[in-house]
Amino acid sequence: DNEIYINQNIVLKNKDKTLIEKFLKQKEEGIPLDYILNSSKFYEYEFFVDSRVLIPRPETEIIVDYVNNHFSSPINVLDAGTGSGCIGISIALQNPSYKVYGSDCSEDAVDVAFTNKINLDVKNFSPILANWLSCFNTKCFDLIVSNPPYIAKGDSHLEKLVHEPNIALVSKEDGLFCIKKIVEQSTKALKSGGTLIIEHGYQQQDDVEEIFKKNKFSRVINLKDLQLLPRITIGTLEK
Ligand code: GLN
């Protein structure tokens, strides 16, 4: 609070002093503000976050915008690798007639997603512990969205991301392993004519497009992020 700086006469209670000291220490260690405050803003909502999940990124909101503008009738949606639940929960809150599921292979992440489901009172969102799409029936989703780990091992971007879980960031095969898994498994879990939306690295557009096409996705398009870098690939499963 600014008062503390302006009013030199304020005597801090011990409890507040401890809190401020703890905050400053965490800042000094480089811990991201969202983790310190256990709160992250995504779309119009406030999500609980801690170091067990990735901090939601503004570019990921583009996925939610796209879904809001391109679908209407009640549909079944999967957010694969849901983490905090930010994508799936935002889609669910924006579209109460949709049934949305959020899968994650990390028990910790499912726990956080569940906390957010409760905090934001999201009736039509269910977090599920699962390795990508392995546990779902064939042809059960109209739409699958994902912001998977896509950074290659040893990539220099990781130097700035030391406080976030590695499992949410890094993927084998130059960052493409998880994307391949999701695209391959989506050919079974999606209804024919269903849509797949995946976020990826700005240098992965061509590789991801190729993976989509190899797996019988057509009408493949790419959306740019806020810095106008290619960031999201969308395709339709051929009938
Ligand atoms: N879906 C979550 C997000 O977009 C988590 C993504 C992840 O852990 N890779 O923030």
Among protein residues, the one with the nearest Cα to ligand 1's atom 5 is 83
- Mutating to test ligand 1, I would choose from 34, 47, 60 the residue with most ligand atoms within 8 A of its C-beta, which is 60
Q: How far is the CA of 11 from the centre of ligand 1 (A)?
A: 42
The model's pTM is 0.93
pLDDT at 13: 85
Residue type, 141: F
Backbone dihedral angles phi then psi of residue 203, each to the nearest 5 degrees: -105, 10
Helix (H, G, I), strand (E, B) or coil at 195: strand
Q: Is 147 touching ligand 1 by the criterion CB < 6 Å?
A: yes
Contact 101, 77 (CB under 8 A): yes
Q: How far is the CA of 85 from the centre of ligand 1 (A)?
A: 8
pLDDT at 15: 86
Q: What is the block-wise mean pLDDT of the chain (239 residues), using blocks of 10 residues? A: 68 86 91 96 97 97 97 94 98 97 97 98 97 91 98 95 96 97 97 97 97 97 96 96
pLDDT at 72: 83
219 CB burial (10 A radius; 0-12, 13-18, 19+): exposed
Contact 217, 239 (CB under 8 A): no
Q: Is 171 touching ligand 1 by the criterion CB < 6 Å?
A: no
Contact 137, 130 (CB under 8 A): no
68 CB burial (10 A radius; 0-12, 13-18, 19+): middle
Q: How far is the CA of 168 from the centre of ligand 1 (A)?
A: 7
In sequence order, what DSSP letters do the residues of 104-161 get, joined into one string? Answer: ES-HHHHHHHHHHHHHTT-TTEEEEE-STTTTSPTT-EEEEEE----BPTT-GGGGG-
> What does the block give as tokens for 25?
């220490």
Q: Is 175 touching ligand 1 by the criterion CB < 6 Å?
A: no
Contact 183, 198 (CB under 8 A): yes
Q: Is 87 touching ligand 1 by the criterion CB < 6 Å?
A: yes
> Which residues share a beta bridge with 235?
196
